[in-house]
């Protein structure tokens, strides 16, 4: 995935669309937008950084999982088999990007589960398991040409999903970067810096 920070306006449409598509419970945010502020009024700078699972080439979560629930598919997407997950949270601790969430108890947003939550929780959100972004692998596997929920929802067109080598080339051509490259994970999510915040400054926020 390629995220163009020149276009991102920090509207959280990606996070909202993700929650709607996957029915994630409170405290579980597969896609989120981090905002930070520097300086003192009137000289203030705001940094916007959308984050999600990076589907790393060298994924520490895969190595940390003792049950084999976390695996990497042939297409590079890192997934969790929730029937195999034992809820030990080793992968949560291993992820350097804070992209994994442990779903401890069945709680909805309104006290009682609404009809939508009853369906989605039963399908995708068993308690005592770990959850994270899947790059909408279900849509990819369906083969209907649907794009990721976050990509489709972005009003600024800041997100692109596609062939990793093409994404990487486009990113590097525009001074793009990965988050925390010093971890040696080689993320599959690339960013194009905006015109104000340099790549190094954005990386320092993580």
Q: Could you read off the pLDDT of 38-80 as tens digits, one per residue?
A: 899 888 888 999 999 999 999 999 999 999 999 999 999 999 9
Task: Confirm if 191 and 178 have CB atoms less than 8 A apart.
Answer: yes
What is the pTM (predicted TM-score) of this model? 0.88
| Structural domain containing residue 80 | 2-203
d(CA 15, CA 100) in angstroms, rounded, equals 15
d(CA 116, CA 113) in angstroms, rounded, equals 8
Token pair 């929780």 is found at 121
Number of domains observed in the structure of the chain: 1
Q: Residue 77 sits in a domain of what CATH number?
A: 3.30.70.20
Token pair 């925390």 is found at 180
Looking at residue 42, its pLDDT comes to 87
pLDDT means per 10 residues in the chain (206 residues)?
A: 96 95 92 92 90 97 97 96 97 97 88 89 91 95 90 96 95 96 96 67 43
d(CA 167, CA 163) in angstroms, rounded, equals 6
Nearest to 177 by CA among 4, 47, 59: 4
Burial readout 5-22 (b: 16 or more C-beta within 10 A, e: otherwise): beebebebbbbebbbebb
Looking at residue 73, its pLDDT comes to 96
Token pair 């276009």 is found at 7
């Amino acid at each position: 995935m390629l995220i163009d920070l020149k276009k991102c306006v920090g509207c959280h449409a990606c996070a909202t669309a993700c929650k709607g598509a996957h029915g994630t419970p409170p405290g579980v945010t597969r896609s989120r937008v981090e905002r930070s502020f520097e300086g003192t009024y009137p000289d203030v700078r705001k940094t916007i950084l959308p984050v999600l699972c990076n589907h790393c080439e060298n994924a520490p979560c895969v190595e940390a999982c003792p049950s084999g629930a976390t695996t990497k598919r042939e297409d590079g997407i890192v997934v969790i088999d929730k029937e195999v997950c034992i809820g030990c949270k080793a992968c949560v601790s291993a992820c350097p990007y804070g992209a994994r969430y442990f779903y401890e108890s069945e709680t909805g947003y309104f006290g009682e589960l609404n009809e939508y939550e009853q369906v989605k929780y039963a399908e995708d959100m068993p308690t005592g398991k770990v959850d994270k972004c899947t790059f909408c692998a279900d849509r990819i596997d369906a083969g209907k040409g649907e794009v990721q929920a976050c990509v489709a929802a972005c009003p600024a067109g800041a997100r692109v999903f596609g062939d990793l080598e093409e994404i990487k080339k486009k990113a590097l051509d525009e001074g793009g970067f990965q988050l925390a490259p010093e971890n040696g994970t080689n993320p599959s999510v690339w960013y194009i810096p905006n015109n104000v915040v340099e790549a190094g400054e954005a990386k320092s926020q993580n």
